[in-house]
Amino acid sequence: MKYLLLLVAGIILHTVSRSQGCSVNYVEPSFQLQTTHPVCGGSSGQLEVINASGGAAPFTYRLIELNLTNSTGVFTGLAAGTYSVELKDACGTIRTRQATLVPFQFSFDFSVVMLAGGACHKGEVTFTTSNSSFVHQYGVCNPGSSDTIWSNSPDIIVDPIINRAAILVKDNCGTVYAKNWNAPTGVFGYIKELQYKIQCTDVDIYPVFFGFDAPSVCLYDFQTKALIQCKQAPAGNYSGGFQTNFYALNYTHDYYVIVQDNCNRDSAYFPVKQSSGGSQIDPYDWDCTTFKMHVDGPPPPASWYALHPEVDGSPDSICLYDITRNRKVGCKSQNDYLNWINPRTGEPWPSGAVWDNLPYGCYRAYIFDPCSDSTCTIDSCVRYPNGFRSAVAGNCTINQTAVQAWFDPGAKTPFNVKVLYPDGSIAVNYPSNNTYNYVLYNTWPQPGTLTVIASDGCGNADTSFVNQPSIFPTKQVEMKGGCPGLYGDSGGGDIVLKGNPLAYNSATVTIIKRDATDTLVNRSYSTYNSTTDQVEFYFSNLPTGVYIVQSSIGCMSLKFYDTIAINPYVYPHQLADRIYQCAANPYTFKDSTLGGVRPLTYEILRTDPMYAPLLTGPQTSNVFNIPSGFNLDSITIKALDACGNSHSKTFPVQHMPDCNTLAVGPDVQTLAVTNKLISVYPNPSKGQFTIFISQKKKADYRVEVVNTSGSVVYQKIFEGIDKKEILLNEHLVPGLYIIRVTDLITEKVSVFKEIIN
């Protein structure tokens, strides 16, 4: 468990009541925060205030987000997140500190190496974890066993280890993390397939298996689970044959076969089969305009032809008819199969006749089914197999992306895949003889639709459109917090990088520099935000400074950099020095505040003389409306920021006996009031001013715009300028405004009065 313990300073409220214990020797309070990040259960985090000094006892502490208050400064049972702790002493001084509790993340991986010796399958399991200090035990549990092999070592020898064994890691909280080991093919004995032969009244099953030594091969009825028969395979390299075949089985049943020796066991399911009499009409070997057709099965007897004189055929031959063209293709001997090779097996067809150079269309054959003792009609319509589909596939280099292209296995080679960018230019032109193609092209910079044109050796072409999502890194870097935190009064915060999943799912994101000094800060944690479809990387509890964040993307580790600053915290400060009221008229006061972390809340604490209807509590608006008929001498307002720090200020109310506005020239559109080399050009109808500064040498200027209530509606400092045209467009409400331009070097002030209609 790691603890962060750093001294932090605080903020003094501008108005502190100096009652007993708050004398001139009063020392402002300070404290430290200690964080314990959550692990077990997810809500085991803790924030503790320690080493509190200064101030006037007693102290109260408040966890702002959960509104928890106590006198100990210890807050437990916290989930991961950012929290603010507030200290308040007997003098009313408030200080806040902010800290982030990082969510617990744990992962592990493993590898299995088979070892020689042992009873059956001896293996070594090696573990790697993201936090080895948090691991209590490592374990392996074979399927079907209730016993788990636990070890304190990340290397475990297991004899035997069985396929689909559970690989386990137990942490210090007792949580068990599990993965399954799926052994590569060939490590264990397995059933490759259950071959079969269907006959009129029964079926034969021929198990084919590998990796066993003298196994028993047993057949079970699937519905009743009853054992039907077991056979013993010979020792040695035996993969199936007549000694382990099962004959004359009822083809209306489901079966399963279990092959087992002293070390291996595997099972395979055999679904119910229906007798088809061995008849078929089978097209194959498609060419551009023609194909081959294999017809299998006994021809109809002479008696059938006698009953069907419209069919031109022979009881001694297999005949094929072209339905599309309404003609007989021809008849062939039942031994014609000897002249043809089945392309699927590489061996001669077992029976039947073959026609080649048939044009595409629909064909018919009449076949006698000895199982049903009847003649059946078999039709087959054949077209050229020019099916095609495509999809975008990722590629770890980022600079390149791939299009997957599938051709129908029967289509004619050579193939060609052409990919066009969204602007119509060629991304890649890819020739191939493979039905599956992984075609790389240079990544299009933005998301867009690619055109994929596939063509085959017959000149057939097909076009499809695939969408390439955002492949290149698209990201944003944010700074969160900014409140006084673990690193002191100057502030601090979290850096969050948010990136698109295709680029950042496997990216490495680190901080490599702070204030131009090399450093290495790994992410505190990362998570996927399903709402924004972004991967988020968090760097928590960082001090102020300028940081360089490095993203390492893809298997080529392409580097991308972002610079972001965590600026020093500025305490909230109310700018106006007074409030103006014209006679006893109603008036509006807008409180302008610099500094603090938004959002701010405002509250009237008291008035002199007291006027209770104005004490309405905190509000988000910085505008206060004072009704007519009240002559207040002062108003005290508190501005509170999101960190919990505040500035309280008492504003005197200046009563103005003359309520008339100041006079200006007759043409307010072109009026120019000039004070030496600083000029103001108003544009009242648009609610804006243009300030033009022209000096012989460069200087720093502060520009302020103040309304008649004394509220500063605009303030900005311009450094090192000699000529500058400044457009003020602050959506000002109609009224009189005072513009002050101060030379910060000579402290000379130029004052202008302007009206906005």
pLDDT in tens, 435-448: 999 999 999 988 99
Residue 33 has pLDDT above 60, yes or no: yes
Q: What is the pLDDT of residue 297?
A: 78
Q: Is 642 left (phi over 0), alpha (psi -120 to 50) or beta?
A: alpha
Are 284 and 354 contained in the same domain? yes
- The answer to whether the CB of 586 falls within 8 A of the CB of 574 is no
Report the number of distinct structural domains present in the chain: 8
Tell whether the model's pLDDT for residue 63 goes beyond 90: yes
Instruction: Concatenate the DSSP letters of all residues of 518-586 into one string.
Output: EEEEE-SEEEEETTTTEEEEEEEEEPSEEEEEEEEETTTTEEEEEEEEEPPP---EE----EEEETT--
Tell me the two tokens of residue 30: 């300070």
Do residues 618 and 546 share a domain?
no
> What confidence score (pLDDT) does residue 687 get?
62
Predicted local distance difference test score (pLDDT) of residue 740: 80
Both 378 and 285 in one domain: the answer is: yes
Same domain, 554 and 578: no
In this predicted structure, what is the pLDDT of residue 350? 77
Is 80 exceeded by the pLDDT of residue 19? Answer: no
The better pLDDT of the pair 122, 671 is held by: 122
167, 185, 184: which is closest to 176 by C-alpha? 167
Do residues 240 and 197 both lie within one domain?
yes
Confidence bin at 73 (pLDDT 50/70/90): very high
263-267, 683-687, 705-709: range with lowest mean pLDDT: 683-687
Question: What are phi and psi for residue 353, nearest 5 degrees?
Answer: -130, 155
Give residue 17's pLDDT.
36
Domain-embedded: residue 662: no
Burial 202-218 (b: 16+ CB within 10 A, else e): ebebbbebbbbeebebb
Mean of the per-residue pLDDT values for the chain?
Answer: 83
The per-residue pLDDT for 547 is 96
Out of 126, 156, 180, a domain closes at 180
Predicted pLDDT at 427? 95
Compute the distance between CA of residue 236 and CA of residue 232 in angstroms, rounded to an integer.
Answer: 12
Q: Tell me the pLDDT band of 12, cut-offs 50, 70 and 90.
A: very low
Separation CA 196–CA 207 (nearest Å): 8
Same domain, yes or no: 414 and 454: yes
According to the per-residue pLDDT averaged within each range, which of 93-97, 414-418, 715-719 is highest? 414-418
| Angstrom distances, CA of residue 717 to CA of 130, 305, 401, 566, 569 | 50, 108, 49, 21, 19
46 is written with which tokens? 């803790």
Kindly list the distances between the CA atom of residue 504 and the CA atoms of 38, 105, 141, 507, 733, in Å, as whole numbers in the listed order: 26, 18, 34, 5, 47
* Domain span holding position 315: 280-382
CATH number assigned to the domain comprising residue 56: 2.60.40
CB burial readout 13-42, b (16+ within 10 A) else e: beebeeeeebeeebebbbbbbbbbbbbeee
Return d(Cα 437, Cα 431) in angstroms, integer: 10
Query: Which of the two residues, 511 and 749, has the higher pLDDT score?
Result: 511
What are the phi and psi torsion angles at 684 (to 5°)? -60, -35
Asked if residue 453 lies in contact with residue 421, where contact means CB atoms within 8 angstroms, the answer is no
The model's confidence at residue 272, banded by pLDDT at 50, 70 and 90, is confident
Residues 244 and 299 in one domain: no
The CB density around residue 259, as the number of other CB atoms within 10 Å, is: 25
Residue 309 pLDDT more than 60?
Answer: yes
Nearest-angstrom CA–CA distance, 504 and 512: 18
Here the CATH number for the domain that contains residue 451 is 2.60.40.1930
Going by pLDDT thresholds of 50, 70 and 90, the confidence category of residue 3 is: very low
| pLDDT given at position 601 | 94
Q: Are residues 373 and 445 in the same domain?
A: no
Q: 378 with 392, same domain?
A: no
Is the pLDDT at 281 greater than 70, yes or no? yes
Of the candidates 216, 375, 212, 378, the one whose C-alpha atom is nearest the C-alpha of residue 293 is: 378
Share of the chain above pLDDT 90, in %: 36
**3-class DSSP state of 61:** strand
In terms of domains, do 16 and 57 share one? yes
Mean pLDDT, residues 516-526 taken together: 92
Lowest mean pLDDT among 9-13, 140-144, 742-746: 9-13
255 assigned to some structural domain: yes
Q: What is the pLDDT of residue 263?
A: 83
Going by C-beta distance under 8 Å and a sequence separation of 6 or more, which residues neighbour residue 677? Answer: 693, 694, 695
Rounded-to-integer distance, Cα 94 and Cα 15, Å:
11
Total Cβ atoms within 10 A of residue 343:
9
Q: What is the mean pLDDT of residues 66-88?
A: 91
d(CA 497, CA 553): 14
Which of residues 180, 208, 225 is at a domain's end?
180
Span of 219-223, 581-585, 611-615 with lowest mean pLDDT: 581-585
Q: Which of 119-123, 412-416, 461-465, 510-514 has the lowest mean pLDDT?
A: 119-123
Question: Is 479 part of any domain?
Answer: yes
Please answer whether residues 257 and 219 qualify as being in contact, where contact means their C-beta atoms are separated by less than 8 angstroms. Answer: yes
Last residue of a domain, one of 180, 208, 235: 180
Tokens 């044009």, residue located = 359
Positive/negative CA dihedral, 46, 51, 54, 58: positive
User: What is the pLDDT, as a whole number, of residue 14?
Assistant: 34
706 is a domain residue:
yes
In-domain check, residue 597 = yes
In a domain, 667, yes or no: no
Residue 668 located in a structural domain: no
Q: Tell me what pLDDT residue 160 has.
A: 85
CATH value at residue 701: 2.60.40.3080
Using the predicted structure, report yes or no on whether residue 23 has a pLDDT greater than 70.
no
Tell which residue, 426, 410, 408, 406, has the closest CA to residue 418: 426
- 421 and 353: one domain? no
Considering the domain architecture, whether residues 539 and 609 belong to the same structural domain is answered as: no
700 within some domain:
yes
Q: Which residues, in sequence order, are CB contacts of 718 under 8 Å at separation 6+?
A: 693, 700, 701, 702, 703, 724, 726
Please tell me the predicted confidence (pLDDT) of residue 233: 96
Please report, rounded to a whole number, the percentage of residues in the chain having pLDDT higher than 70. 88
* CA 575/CA 244 separation, integer angstroms: 96
CA distance 82 to 105: 17
Are 261 and 234 in contact, with CB atoms under 8 Å apart?
Answer: no
Contact 60, 29 (CB under 8 A): no
Instruction: Kindly report, residue by residue over 170-191, the tens digit of the pLDDT.
Output: 888 888 888 888 888 777 888 9
Question: Counting beta carbons within 10 angstroms of the beta carbon of residue 290, is it exposed (0 to 12), middle (13 to 18) or buried (19 or more)?
Answer: middle
